[in-house]
Amino acid sequence: MQKTLPIHFAPLQGYTDVIYRNAHAACFGGIDAYYTPFVRLEKGTFRHRDVRGIEPGNNQVPHLIPQLIAPTAEKAEKILSLFIEKGYKEADINMGCPFPILAKRHNGSGILPYPEEVQALLSLITKYPQISFSIKMRLGWENPEECLKLAPIINELPLRQVVMHPRLGKQQYKGEVDLKAFEAFQHVCKHPLIYNGDINHIEDIHRIQEQFPGLAGMMIGRGLLANPALAWEYQQNRTLEFDEMKEKIQSMHTYVYEEYIEQLKGGDLQILNKMKAFWEYLLPNADRKLLKAIHKSTNLHKYTQAVHAFFNQR
């Protein structure tokens, strides 16, 4: 019998904001740690939504880890000082983001081909012994050898864990995960290692767990957006029935919708866009006609009609 691994909810920009995380924890759970989408400096300052998203008073999840993205230790320290000011004792450093606009400035996976820059960025870890650091990374930007060249630097650092998504940055989310390259990295990594990438079903969790014994956990992103019950089902070793699932999704939807109505007073188009993002990955095998009506709705009235039709399907 396999032991049950901790499940970490990956941060996804534009999807797993504070409202979504709170709703997920309240309606589904099964998550050992939620991560905030990365906080970054924009023109030397913070975006309001990033500060709001990490504010402890706004978060009701059992365990939240803030994530930062920066190309230099100096910029990373500015963000870290915000985390410390808010009372956080943990921080995750993003070296995995594949978005070209950020990567070309050596943020996220764009820094991976440059060992000296990685070493300089991660030097801040030893400066803050009071903070428990983790890093989230990819195999490399251009080729999977990059992570192996970085392993000696990473192994020397006092890290809580390393999260590895076995794709290249330039792939973004296309193509297959490279499990051979993941195995090669697992052999050289001295820190607790968490697997991330293309986990959509309980079977995927068990398969990866079997293939890579000794993992410290799994991080799931899009798989949890598609099936918010995935972590709970894995922990409980049972699949939710259709009606149970529908009821939980409905209560989660109500939670998210009401929070956006409250937060974005009068911004109907903003609310509509936020709610469409809620459905973007959700239940890909559900009735396509009903999902299409939700995505095509042009105002909140049409949206609520389409959602009503979805939840009242037999």
Q: How far apart are the C-alpha atoms of 176 and 204, rounded to whole Å?
A: 14
Q: Are 292 and 311 in contact (CB under 8 A)?
A: no
Q: Which of 196, 216, 236 is a domain's end point?
A: 236
C-alpha Rg value of the chain to the nearest Å:
20
Q: What is the pLDDT of residue 265?
A: 83
Answer yes or no: do 116 and 201 share one domain.
yes
Q: Domain ends where: 236, 251, 269? A: 236
Segment 242-260 mean pLDDT: 96
Question: Are 138 and 15 found together in one domain?
Answer: yes
Task: Assess whether 124 and 198 both reside in one domain.
Answer: yes
> Residue 213 falls within a domain, yes or no?
yes
Tokens of 265: 């007073």
Residue 259 lies in a domain: yes
pLDDT confidence tier of residue 242, bands split at 50, 70 and 90: confident
- Where in the sequence is the domain holding 117, given as residue range(s)? 7-236
Q: Please, which pLDDT band fits residue 1 given cuts at 50, 70 and 90?
A: low
Boundary (domain end) residue, out of 219, 236, 253: 236
Single-letter amino acid code for the residue at 222? R
* 66 shares its domain with 207: yes
pLDDT of residue 105: 97
Instruction: Tell me: do 157 and 277 sit in the same domain.
Output: no
The pLDDT mean for the chain works out to 96
Both 223 and 284 in one domain: the answer is no
Mean pLDDT of 260-270: 89
On the CB side of 130, how many CA atoms lie within 13 Å of its CA? 8
Sheet holding 67-68, edge to edge: 64-65, 33-35, 7-9, 217-220, 193-196, 159-168, 132-140, 90-95, 67-68
Distances (CA, A) of 49 to 41, 122, 150, 232: 12, 26, 33, 29
Q: Please check the confidence at residue 8 and state whether its pLDDT lies above 90.
A: yes
pLDDT of residue 313: 83
- pTM equals 0.96
Instruction: For residue range 43-73, list pLDDT tens digits in order.
Output: 899 999 999 999 999 999 999 999 999 999 9
- Give pLDDT tens digits for 146-172: 999 999 999 999 999 999 999 999 999
- One domain, residues 231 and 166: yes
Average pLDDT of the segment spanning 187-201:
98
Structural element, H or E, at residue 120: helix 115-122
For residue 171, what is the DSSP state?
G
Percentage of residues of the chain with pLDDT beyond 70: 99
Sign of CA dihedral 154, 31, 256, 81: negative
